Amino acid sequence: MSDQVRQQALAARAASRVLAATSAEVRNQALEAIAAALEANRERILAANAEDLKAGEQDGLASPLLKRLDLSGSKFASTVEMVRSVTAQPDPLDQTQKATELQAQLYLYRVTVPIGVIGVVFESRPDALVQIAALCLKSGNAVLLKGGREATMTNQTLAEVMCQATSDILPEGWMVLLEGREEVRALLDQEGLVDLIIPRGGNEFVQYIMNHTKIPVMGHADGVCHVYVDASADIDKAVPIAVDSKIGYVAACNAAETLLVHAAIAEQFMARAVEQLTAKGVLIRGDARTVALAESIGAVTPATQIDWSTEYLDYILSIKIVDSADEAIAHINEYGSNHTDTIVAEDPAAVRAFLRGVDSASVMHNASTRFADGFRYGLGAEVGISTNRLHSRGPVGLEGLVIYKYILKGDGHIVDSYDGYDGAAPLPFTHRPLDQHWQA
């Protein structure tokens, strides 16, 4: 199996070098071919998805996970729309980030290029396969994909449709679907052929990936996201934001898992919010003050210490009453996962303290945590959310899938002239910023 994965990685490396040299027009042509092929094969894809859903139900897959697996209805149309949204994005390659004159006729350019070969291991969510592949293609990267086993039939069909649609446009091996766990283990050994691994899943899984590969890893371990309702919050804004952050899509990594409420507004806010949340089937776990307050507004079970750092991915929400914005910030920084957190407040000082003090990839004011998404951020789509502090952070779109290289253009220049060897006066560097783009 390791030999097979190595051959696939070698093919991906060769394909990545061809992709890196393709024009934006060719890559966009391939993306449109994928969108058209998805539409033409809709019934075939959904039939495969129905098989996965049936198997998931028989295996007792939880309702939120079945929802994530389901590609039918508006989700299929949204998946196709996402491909075209990526197509419409500006070309991320060959962009001059910085241009500098070192000396007359000696010009240095920093230019965007693909990362190369990317391996992505993701959850049982078929639309993620399409998103990831589309973003990698647009950014000139080859991709090795491994989805959750619950989506096996759908992923196989999607990969076949997409590879066939691009067979006359792109090099073979630009997209490879891995199917078994043993292939993931083999993928982690492909240092030198695979440039980046992006794992999407729980903390234990991400830690396993990090501990078993020498390949750089980008991603996030958990989505322990918070909504903080400040004493200055507008209740008419706060309640819908809290409810939407939790129930919009409970299996998403940007769904709220903990609600922090200032004591001064807790009774007024909780009377409305808990009623709406429980009506949607959300189970509430609260600290002692929340439990005491909830006796008159609805059933709340006591939270334990582990609840504050748990990503439920389900209809469960922990609630804690705090006495200040500073206490909320400290709680988030201690128990959160540096993913996405929001404050609902009208007090500028509280808002400023929260936005500056919370150490997360996305920090929001008066908005649902569910906005933390590549498509909603205008990135076209995303390969995932990164809580890293190097290269990219937050929803990773096209910009997160490129790196840069330096291009130096001279006219017979040699270093000797600038070092002053043989007693000659060294030439000075000008280091003058240029407002111009690199051209071959």
The pLDDT of residue 122 is above 80? yes
Which of 155, 215, 163 has its CA nearest to residue 185? 215
Residue found under tokens 């189970």: 283
Q: Residues 41-91: pLDDT tens digits?
A: 999 999 999 999 999 999 999 888 899 899 999 999 999 999 999 999 999
- At residue 312, the pLDDT reads 93
Give the span between the Cα atoms of 396 and 384, in whole angstroms: 6
pLDDT band at 224 (very low <50, low <70, confident <90, very high): very high
In this prediction, residue 216 carries a pLDDT of 92
What per-residue confidence (pLDDT) applies to 296? 66
Burial-class residue 261 by CB neighbours within 10 Å (0-12, 13-18, 19+): buried
User: For residue 437, what pLDDT is reported?
Assistant: 85
For residue range 408-434, list pLDDT tens digits in order. Answer: 999 888 888 877 766 778 888 999 999
What are the tens digits of pLDDT across the range 280-322?
A: 999 999 999 999 887 766 678 999 999 999 999 899 999 999 9
- Rounded Cα–Cα distance for residues 327 and 333 (Å): 10
The pLDDT score that the predictor gives to residue 1 is 61
Measured CA to CA in angstroms, residue 247 lies from 34, 202, 256, 280 at distances of 32, 19, 8, 8
Tokens matching residue 115: 């990362």
- Report the percentage of the chain scoring pLDDT > 90: 76
pLDDT above 70 for 171: yes
Count of CA atoms in the C-beta half-sphere (13 A) of 259: 31
More confident residue, 348 or 251: 348
Q: Which residues sit opposite 145 in a β-bridge?
A: 120, 177
pLDDT at 12 (0 to 100): 96
pLDDT, position 202: 72
Structure confidence at residue 298 (pLDDT): 62
Specify the pLDDT at position 207. 83
Q: Is the pLDDT of residue 436 over 90?
A: no
Helix (H, G, I), strand (E, B) or coil at 361: coil
Exposure string for 52-80, b = 16+ CB within 10 A, e = fewer: bbebbeeeebeebbbebbbbeeeebeebb
Tens of pLDDT along 180-207? 888 989 999 999 999 999 998 777 788 8
Question: How confident is the model at residue 382, as a pLDDT?
Answer: 85
pLDDT at 251: 85
DSSP 398: S
What pLDDT, on the 0 to 100 scale, is given for residue 297?
A: 63
Q: For residue 82, what pLDDT is reported? A: 94
Q: Determine the residue type at 339.
A: H
